[in-house]
Amino acid sequence: MHDICHLDSDWFVNALATFLIIGLVVSYCPQHLRIIQIGSSEGFSPWFLLLGSTSSAAGMLNMIALSWHTIQCCNDLSVGKCLEITAGVTQVVLQWVLFTTILVLYMIYYPARLKYVDIDIPAHGTLPPQHVKTKLLSDDWRLSVNVSWAVTIHLVLITIITFFVLSTRIQEPGGEVPHQISLWATFLGVSSALLAAIQYAPQLSRTYHSKLVGALSIPMMIIQSPGAFVMSISIALRPGTNWTSWAMYAVSGIMQSALLAMCIAWKFRQRRLKIDDFGYSLDSSSSTPLTDDIDTVVGEVSDPQVGDMSFDSNAEDAREDVPLLAKPSRSARSSRFFGWLRL
């Protein structure tokens, strides 16, 4: 305990940790601001957000469990020294907070036009069919709500188990990490790395099939792709950590680099076709997508009792002249913060 609490200052490790903490905030800001500014989170895969949130949560608690002795040193040290020796923990906690914020913004700014199933009612004569909104939730929105609850339940569960293991630990002779903590931390680290390995698969699939960037932020990925490898090195240099603590960030860096390359390729394609990130023409006011490859994400009607469905006569019809990213009113935005909790 004494050696851990009174380690000599390493200017390189401290400078690297400070750089990464600032870099994390700077790298996530473009994505957060992009979703808020365009008022839409279209283009994200709910599975990507589920896997990323659970992976970062497991990685965070892995670091906390392995660094618990170091964290306890703050009771006897100055604030500056405490921040120095717990910089690795700060990095992973910040990583989890910033990524989970994307999930929160995804739910708040989920396009209202995609929350419910639309049907076409044939019109008489040569008139075009009418688009009518139903009260049936789309499969994608239902999945998004379930993902949010799954992330919350997972976080609560592993947090309770982690602090239970820490509170009942049996100290090993020689100051080694207690066996039960080592086993639990290994489970968290391995599960975090496995989740990170498959985290980008659904997002890569959605982005590949849509052939559009959507609400994804290329500047964020440009900063984070190499930053993930630097963060792996920074965590590996921290006392008390092992390969399970940094493996998740190395795997994430590789997968995110692949997503970045795909988004850059689609950017060039969009420029060639003169369409925006959501597939709409830049040369006209038409709101009809110009590409046939767009993932509509409206989903199938999940209620088999189609005959019993009721229509909302006051809902705005999804006409062809309705803008894709209509800016919601201030009151509508404020109601989104808790409205997504209800099905």
d(CA 318, CA 316): 6
Q: Which has the closest alpha carbon to 246: 98, 95, 102? A: 95
How does residue 94 score in pLDDT terms, banded at 50, 70 and 90? Answer: very high
Question: Residue 16's pLDDT is what?
Answer: 78
C-beta separation of 343 from 145 below 8 A: yes
Q: How far is CA 331 from the centre of its chain?
A: 26
Q: For the segment 100-118, what is each residue's pLDDT rounded down to a tens digit?
A: 999 999 999 998 888 888 7
User: Most confidently modeled of 154-158, 177-181, 205-209?
Assistant: 154-158
Q: For the segment 284-337, what is each residue's pLDDT rounded down to a tens digit?
A: 555 555 544 433 333 334 444 444 444 444 444 444 344 443 444 444 444 444
Question: Residue 198's pLDDT is what?
Answer: 85
Average pLDDT of span 2-17: 69
Question: Residue 306's pLDDT is what?
Answer: 40
* Helices marked H in the chain: 2-5, 11-38, 46-66, 68-72, 79-85, 87-108, 139-167, 179-210, 218-236, 243-273, 330-339
pTM for this predicted structure: 0.67
Average pLDDT of span 212-225: 86
| Domain assignments of the chain as residue spans, ordered by start | 2-113+139-273
Q: Is the pLDDT of residue 244 over 60?
A: yes
Token digits of residue 270: 């969009």
C-beta separation of 173 from 188 below 8 A: no
> 131 or 111: which carries more pLDDT confidence?
111
d(CA 61, CA 163): 9
Question: Residue 175's pLDDT is what?
Answer: 58
Q: For the segment 143-178, what is each residue's pLDDT rounded down to a tens digit?
A: 999 999 999 999 999 999 999 999 887 766 555 778
d(CA 190, CA 244): 6
Long-range interactions of 69-76: CB distance < 8 A, separation 24+: 69/1, 69/4, 69/175, 69/177, 69/240, 70/4, 70/5, 70/239, 70/240, 73/1, 73/4, 73/5, 76/5
